[in-house]
């Protein structure tokens, strides 16, 4: 298993903080706890459902922002 570097976490934090404030997106610490809940949930929750919670109720990210995201894996 590879762990993410501080640089990876800083990039993820910056990506979350770059989301529109009106969306009320999660902060990195909130995202960490949220992912822990997803992992321990007995039922699979599709990304189409849980990503809305990360981005905030203001709407989904536009495609051009998504294409700039570096893929993260556990």
Cα dihedral 37→51→17→27 (10° resolution): -20
Domain ranges of the chain: 6-17+27-66
What is the per-residue burial (b if ≥16 Cβ within 10 Å, else e) of 25-50? bbeeeebeeeeeeeeeeeeeeeeeee
User: Radius of gyration over alpha carbons of the chain, in Å?
Assistant: 13
User: How far does CA 65 lie from the centroid of its chain?
Assistant: 13
C-alpha closest to that of 69 among 55, 50, 48: 55
In order along its 74 residues, the chain shows pLDDT tens digits of 467 788 888 888 888 888 888 888 889 999 999 999 999 999 998 887 888 888 877 655 554 455 555 555 44
């Amino acid at each position: 298993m590879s762990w993410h570097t501080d640089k990876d976490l800083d990039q993820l934090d910056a990506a979350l903080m770059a989301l529109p404030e009106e969306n009320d997106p999660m902060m990195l610490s909130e995202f960490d706890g949220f992912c822990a809940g997803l992992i321990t949930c007995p039922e699979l929750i599709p990304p189409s459902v849980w990503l809305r919670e990360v981005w905030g109720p203001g709407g989904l990210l536009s495609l051009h922002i998504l294409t700039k995201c570096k893929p993260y894996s556990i």
